[in-house]
Copies of this chain bind each other. A is one copy, B any other.
C-alpha cells in the first residue's frame, strides 16, 4: 500500500516503526536476562524507589509509568508475590491504596539499575550521539504533546497526605 505520505515521510516512518518493534524488545530481553524483570515492572520499582518514603498511591504511580490502573494492579500483584512491593490502604482517604517498595525491592532496583542504564546508553544515547540528544528530546516532546492533548506532561499532580 502506498500510504498517503511522501516518500521521505514514508521512509522515516517505516524506520521509526521498525525501531518501535526492535528497541523495546532488545531492552526487555536484556532486562529479563540480567534481572528477570520486564522493562515495565522495573520502571514501577524504579519510580517507587525515587519517591521519598518509597511509597505512592497506585493511581499516581500509574500515571508516572503511563499505564492503566488495571495493568498496574496486575503487575503490582506479581511484584507483591515476589516480595518487592507491599500494598496498604491509605488512612487519609479510604479509596486510595499505597504501593510501597520493600527493602528487598530496593535491593532489586539497585542491582538492576546499572545494567539498565548501560543498555540505554549503548542502544540509545550513544547511538544517537551527544549532538543529537537535544533533537531527540524535541521530537519525542512534540509527539508526546500530540498524544497527551490534555497537556499533563507532568505538572506534578499534587498528592496530598498519606
Check A1–B144 contact: CB distance below 8 A. no
Check A133–B3 contact: CB distance below 8 A. no
Check B114–A128 contact: CB distance below 8 A. no
Asked if A140 is at the interface of the complex by the 8 Å CB criterion, the answer is yes
Cβ–Cβ < 8 Å partners of A43 in chain B = 17
Closest to A8 in B: B133
Cβ–Cβ < 8 Å partners of A121 in chain B = 4-5, 9
Give CA–CA (A142, B136) in the complex, Å.
Answer: 12
- Given that A21-B66, A136-B16 are contacting pairs, would A143 and B123 also be in contact in the complex, using a CB cutoff of 8 Å? yes
Copies of this protein chain in the complex? 2
Asked if A76 is at the interface of the complex by the 8 Å CB criterion, the answer is no
Cβ–Cβ < 8 Å partners of A23 in chain B = 20, 143, 147
Interface of chain A: mostly helix, strand, loop or mixed: helix
Cβ–Cβ < 8 Å partners of A129 in chain B = 142
Known: A3-B113, A23-B143, A127-B143. 16 other contacts (CB 8 A): A1-B46, A1-B49, A3-B120, A4-B121, A5-B120, A9-B121, A12-B133, A12-B137, A12-B140, A15-B141, A19-B143, A21-B66, A22-B148, A26-B147, A132-B142, A136-B139
Cβ contacts A to B, 19 pairs, < 8 Å: A1-B113, A3-B116, A5-B120, A8-B133, A8-B137, A12-B140, A15-B141, A16-B124, A18-B144, A19-B143, A21-B66, A22-B147, A22-B148, A23-B143, A123-B143, A127-B142, A127-B145, A135-B135, A135-B138
